[in-house]
Amino acid sequence: MIRFEPREHVSPLRRVAAPVVAAVAALAVASLAIAAAGAPVLEAYGLMAKGAFGSAFAMSELLARATPLIFTGLAAAVAFRAKLWNIGGEGQLYAGALAAVAVGTGALALPGPLLIPTVILAGALAGGLLMLIPALLKVRLGADEVVTTLLLNFVVILFVQMMLEGPMKDPMGMGWPQSEPMLDEAMLPKLMDRMRVHAGLILALVAALGVHILLKRTVWGFETRAVGENPEAARHAGIPVTATFLRVALLSGGLAGLAGVGEVAGLKGYLTADLSPGFGYAGIVVAMLAGLSPVGAVVAALFIAGVFVGADSMSRAIGVSNYLADLVVATSLICVLVSGLFVRFKVRIVRPGTGRGTA
């Protein structure tokens, strides 16, 4: 028999080590799949590492891939801190992208220095307002936000498809369902010549720092933590619980919206319905790997991005499907959840019969 006994004190080292161990465990589990595909495991991982970190180009790809993941990771981390289960990062990302395209394709005639902030603001606002809907349904009607945020993702993506087939379709797009291109002045600057990494990364890092300060050093963060940890006690102590939920929803949705802004205004230049390969959902994994820490989210986003970029490169070289990346990401979420158990509990194996515990 196995018994779980809660630990009284959790050392910070254990807390930090847990996600690292989880990530390694996920890679180990995925190596079974590589072996099953008939490829040499070590070589495959070597190629993955090279593909993710091996050259300036690889690094640029890694950072470009990490940018939306930092945003969606922060979005999930902020919401989860308040125990607001925002699973709708994907939909908010598209809402942000749609708003960025709506503003940035010539609808507003503003000079560049004003246009870029307007695009960013519009995207954040769209994501935030979208998240406000399930948050209001939660506080007013008690609707479970896991369900509402998840389902809204499909609503938003269908809406985006409708817009791209209809009013927002690019007349010059040779019939493809895509938006008109962003104005050049509305595009985020590139960070390096002929590389894809863009200023969205700077924005993401600033956002991570901002969220860190917000949670740690402000009344607002204090209230968010209190509501997340114990809403009853927070309400009893006079903290505006409903308002806190709504603020967190706006912020969380806004951050996810910024991921969409970065993708259209930093990378693609126009909107298609396959803009995101699931960045919204991967953000949840990022947040969990990061232990809901905003700074940790940056590191976790780099790891997940590295897995994706590296797997692409590896699959080109030795023909193992790049679905392997999804496998690693999914496994690492499971591993981090399991490792959380080991952080909080001591496991004792009890031999039946004697009932004596051995650690």
Partner 1 sequence: MTVPEEAPPIALSLSGITKRFGALTANEGVDLDLRRGEIVALLGENGAGKTTLMNILFGHYVADEGEVRVAGPDGTLVPLEPGSPHAALEAGIGMVHQHFTLAENLTTFENIVLGTAPLLSARLAARAAREKLQELMRRSGLVVDLDARISRLSVGEKQRVEILKALYRDARVLVLDEPTAVLTPQESETLFETLKALAAQGLAIVFISHKLAEVLAASDRIAVLRLGRKVADLPAADCDRQTLAELMVGHQVTMSRREPQAAGEVLLALSAVTCGEGRDTVSDIGFELRAGEILGIAGVSGNGQAMLARLLSGLERQTSGDIRLAGREIRAHDAADMIRAGVARIPEDRHRDGVVGAMSVAENLVIEEIRSSRYQRFGFLDFRAIADRAVEAIASYDIRCPGGSAVARLLSGGNIQKIVLARTLDASPSVVLAAQPSRGLDIGATGDVHRRLLEARGRGAGVILISEDLDELFALSDRIAVIHRGRLSPPRPAEELDRAAVGLMMAGQHTEDAAA
Element (H, E) at 238: none
For residue 176, the minimal CB distance to partner 1 (Å) is 47
Using CB under 8 A, which of 166, 171, 355, 359 touches partner 1?
A: 355
Using CB under 8 A, which of 12, 167, 171, 356 touches partner 1?
A: 356
Q: Using the rule CB under 8 A, give the single segment among 31-39, 41-49, 322-330, 351-359 that binds partner 1.
A: 351-359
SS (H, E, C) 28-64: HHHHHHHHHCCCCHHHHHHHHHHHHHCCHHHHHHHHH
Q: Does 347 bind partner 1 (CB under 8 A)?
A: no
Closest CA to 309 of 68, 24, 65: 65
- Cα–Cα distances in Å, from 116 out to 94, 185, 197, 230, 266? 18, 7, 17, 40, 11
Residues 6+ away with beta carbon under 8 Å from 28: none
Q: Does 158 bind partner 1 (CB under 8 A)?
A: no
- Cα–Cα distances in Å, from 63 out to 95, 199, 209, 305? 23, 11, 17, 8
For residues 33-92, which are near partner 1 according to CB under 8 A? none
Site map (CB under 8 A) of partner 1, residues 178-217, x = contact = ---------------------------------------x
Dig out the tokens for 188 from the structure: 């985020």
Using CB under 8 A, which of 159, 220, 342, 345 touches partner 1?
A: 220
For residues 6-35, which are near partner 1 according to CB under 8 A? 8-9
| Sequence letter at residue 27 | L
Please, is 114 exposed, middle or buried when counting C-beta atoms within 10 Å of its C-beta (0-12, 13-18, 19+)? exposed
For residue 216, the minimal CB distance to partner 1 (Å) is 8
Q: Which is nearer to partner 1, 166 or 238 (CB)?
A: 238
For residue 246, the minimal CB distance to partner 1 (Å) is 16
Output the CA torsion sign for 91, 123, 186, 177: positive
For residue 215, the minimal CB distance to partner 1 (Å) is 11
- DSSP lists the bridge partners of residue 3 as 348
Q: What is the largest CA-CA distance in the chain?
A: 80
Q: Which is nearer to partner 1, 55 or 218 (CB)?
A: 218
For residue 296, the minimal CB distance to partner 1 (Å) is 18
For residue 203, the minimal CB distance to partner 1 (Å) is 22
Q: Does 349 bind partner 1 (CB under 8 A)?
A: no
Say if residues 128 and 260 touch (Cβ distance below 8 Å): no
For residues 221-250, which are near partner 1 according to CB under 8 A? 222-223, 225-226, 229-230, 232-240
Q: What residues line the site for partner 1 (CB under 8 A)?
A: 8-9, 217-220, 222-223, 225-226, 229-230, 232-240, 350, 353-357
